[in-house]
Amino acid sequence: MTEMHWIALAESVLAETELTTRFSKGHAACAALPELRRATGFAAWRHEGQLRKGEGKAPYIHHPIEVAAILAEIGDISDVDVLQAAVLHDTIEDTPTTSEELESLFGARVRDIVLEVTDDKNLDKLVRKEKQVEHAPHLTKDAQVLKLADKISNVHDVAFSKPVDWAPERQLAYFDWASRVVDGLRGCNTALEALFDEQVARSRDAVG
Ligand code: ZN
């Protein structure tokens, strides 16, 4: 697919998510910056056909766009490399995208941030989850804010659009684990940390 095609894809995905995103000003930033539209188009192409695990079955691309929107709107982050990395953050982990590809298309800094938040899929799932807890305090600040916004989006979805086969115990265990990861990210962005705490409290209440 050529770059012209991704940009067209970005336009349609951004028009669609505008109706659904909870962070509309952040969304506007994604739509306005050419670099972000480009990254959004590439990610939308790579995640095409993938759905979120939740019962809402949203197109997967809504999630990375929301993460970028949270960073822009709540985290007050305007660094375009960090916002591009947010839109691209799951492309290496969940699509056939390589780190070389990200470097050649978006530069070494964007690639490095994405790599920092990419789990090693060769490891067992439980090991990967523990590694996230261990690594959180050692990430760069760019990767820390991205990981925090990712957890805010995921905690919301686990509570309010949960995967169909998840019992409440599993939802609550997810909130506990996400909180342990975020404990290692404290100090990177006060507003995002406050939103995470609020989101976890609301999510626990909703699950009971
Ligand atoms: Zn994610």
Tally of domains within the chain: 1
In the reported structure, the alpha carbon of residue 38 is separated from the centroid of ligand 1 by a whole-number distance in angstroms of 19
What pTM was estimated for this model as a whole?
0.95
Strand partners, 163: 54
DSSP assignment of 31-80 = HH-HHHHHHHHHHHHHTTT-B-SBTT--BTTHHHHHHHHHHHHTS----H
| Residue 93 burial class via C-beta count within 10 angstroms: exposed 0-12, middle 13-18, buried 19 and up | middle
Angle formed at CA 30 by CA 182 and CA 163, multiple of 5 degrees? 50
Nearest-angstrom CA–CA distance, 66 and 60: 10
- Centre of ligand 1 to C-alpha 49, Å, is 16
> Which pLDDT tens digit goes with each residue over 155-185?
999 999 988 899 999 999 999 999 999 999 9
Q: Which amino acid is at 136?
A: A
Distance in angstroms (rounded) separating the CA atoms of residues 42 and 87: 9
Per-residue pLDDT of the chain (208 residues; tens, 9 = 90+): 788 888 888 888 988 888 778 888 888 888 888 999 999 999 999 999 999 888 878 899 999 999 999 999 999 999 999 999 999 999 999 999 999 999 999 999 999 999 999 998 889 999 999 999 999 999 999 999 999 999 999 999 999 998 889 999 999 999 999 999 999 999 999 999 999 999 999 999 999 7
Give me ligand 1 centre to Cα 90, in Å: 6
Q: CATH number of the domain that 24 lies in?
A: 1.10.3210.10
Distance, CA 63 to ligand 1 centroid (Å)? 7
> In angstroms, rounded to a whole number, what is the distance separating the alpha carbons of residues 152 and 24?
16
Catalytic residue list: 93-94
| Residue-range definition of the domain harbouring residue 9 | 3-207
